[in-house]
Amino acid sequence: MEILIVLEDNHGSLHRMSKEAIAGAQKMGGSVSALAIGSNAESLAAELSGTDLTEVITVNHDLVSSYNADGYAEVVKQVVETEGPKTIVAGHSYQTRDFMPRVSAKLDIPFIPDIISMDDGFVKQVLNAKLNASVTTGSGQMILSFQSAAFSEDDIVSGECAPRSFDVDLDSSIVRSQSEEPFQEAAGDVDLESADLIVSVGRGIEKEENVPLAFELAEVLGAEVSASRPVVDSGWVESFRQVGSSGQNVSPKLYFSLGISGAIQHVVGMKGSKNIIAVNKDPDAPIFELADYAVVGDLLEIVPKLIEALQTE
């Protein structure tokens, strides 16, 4: 095999980033296989039965029934040593970050993380995404991880593939950690930096009484709410919602800005957003230079209508 995708189990089904990794791997050319580890390995493989892959290798051993770094790293190493792929690929998730460096050291091969494109070598962001770097390896084998949304699961090529189980050699001298059950914590400060959808409100909202409009729109969209500095300074939203050079840095799939002019202090905190819809009365607002969709109009008129329209969808 040429490319091996290491899949991730997200509470019983395939992690979105694994699907994106498949799409990316399929673009690279060469035979692509996948590896599923853990007690859900077979059902993950079943999810991919209609995908164009050579096969899905499944590993289900007691010591890796659920995720742990020691075990997963060792499993990947053993599979790679047996199957000999040139490239190992995964989504750049927290889990990949946790164990893939171990694989890199075990196999003595480079791990190029958080790749955003493969158009010009392996491209990753550097210096807080101010610049991009094209990375090359001299090595034969390599490990790559793809940034969230670098590729789209819509681009997965369909086909057929079957699972094949693989036996690994694991014992407690290798798997030395003990993990407890994952748990969720009561929502404290919202982590805007990992939010996928954001509705952001600026001075154009005019009054504190209008701010709930933004929250309503966010709710209908399943989005988080952020704000530009002046809104936070006026005390209309909590300070942890501030986006910008002195606030949070966000790069959601959708950044829906309402009444934000686009001063540079704000823009640096959100220009990595994948899709930007900006609503502003002022046709010359700097935010329009950044937006994918520039809605020139009165947000106080548009947003209530939009909320209504979305509720009927």
Partner 1 sequence: MFEREVLEVDILFVGAGPASLAGAIRLRQLLRETGKDASVGVLEKAGEVGAHSLSGAIVDPRALRELFPDKNDQDFPFEAEVWEEHLYYLTGNRKIPFPFIPPSMKHHGCFVASLGKLTRWLGEACEKDGVDIFCGFAGTELLYDGDQVIGVRTGDRGIDKNGTQKPQFEPGADIHAKVVVLGEGTRGSLTKIFLQHHKLMDQRNPQVWAVGVKELWQMPLGSVQPGYVAHTMGFPLGHDVFGGAFLYGMKNDIWDLGLVVGLDYKNPGVDSQHELQRLKTHPWIHSLLKEGKMIAYGAKSLPEGGWYSIPKLTASGAMLIGDSAGFLNGQRLKGIHLAMKSGMLAAETISQALEENNFTETKLKDYEDRMKSSWIRDELWKVRNFHQGFDHGLLGGLTNAGIGLLTGGRGWGFKDRLTSKAGHLQMEKGLKIDRYQDLQFDGTYLFDKVTDVYHSATAHEEDQVPHLHVNEPDICITKCTEEYGNPCNNFCPADVYEMVPDGESQRLQINFSNCVHCKTCDIMDPYQIIDWVPPEGGDGPTWINL
Partner 2 sequence: MKIAVLVKQVPGSESVLPISDEQTWIDEHMVSFVMNPPDNFALEEALLISETEGDGEVVIVSMGPARVQKVIREGLAKGADRGIHLEEDGRIETDPLSIAKRFSSVLKEENFDLILTGLQSDDMGMGQTGILIGELLGMSTATLAMETDVQNGSIRVKRELESGWFQWVKMPLPASISIQSGLNTPRYPSLKGIMGAKKKEVKVVSSGEHQTASKSQSIDKVFVPQTTKQTEVIEGDADAAVTRIVEILKSEIKIL
Pairwise CA distance, residues 86 & 91, whole Å: 17
Site string for partner 2, 101-140 (x = CB under 8 A): xx-xxx-xxxxxxx------x--xxxxxxxxxxxxxxxx-
Q: 301 touches which of partner 2, partner 1, none (CB within 5 to 8 A by kind)? A: partner 2
Write out the two tokens for 70: 């020691």
Phi, psi of 158 (to 5 degrees): -80, 165
49 sits near partner 1 (criterion: CB under 8 A): no
Which among 67, 142, 159 has a CA at the least distance from the CA of 107? Answer: 142
Q: How many residues does the chain have?
A: 313
Footprint of partner 2 on residues 75-94 (CB under 8 A)?
Answer: 93-94
**Amino acid at the residue 109:** I
264 sits near partner 2 (criterion: CB under 8 A): no
Residue from the set 28, 46, 149, 197 that interacts with partner 2 by CB under 8 A: 197
If the CB atoms of residues 149 and 268 are measured against partner 1, the closer one turns out to be 268
289 sits near partner 2 (criterion: CB under 8 A): yes
Contact assessment for residue 281 and residue 287, using Cβ atoms and an 8 Å cutoff: no
Q: 246 touches which of partner 1, partner 2, none (CB within 5 to 8 A by kind)? A: partner 1
127: left (phi over 0), alpha (psi -120 to 50) or beta: left
Footprint of partner 1 on residues 213-242 (CB under 8 A)?
Answer: 233, 239
144: left (phi over 0), alpha (psi -120 to 50) or beta: beta
Contact assessment for residue 251 and residue 272, using Cβ atoms and an 8 Å cutoff: yes
Footprint of partner 1 on residues 270-309 (CB under 8 A)?
Answer: 286
- Size of interface with partner 1, in residues (CB under 8 A): 8
If the CB atoms of residues 157 and 264 are measured against partner 1, the closer one turns out to be 264
82 sits near partner 1 (criterion: CB under 8 A): no
Instruction: List residues near partner 1 by CB under 8 A.
Output: 233, 239, 245-246, 263-265, 286
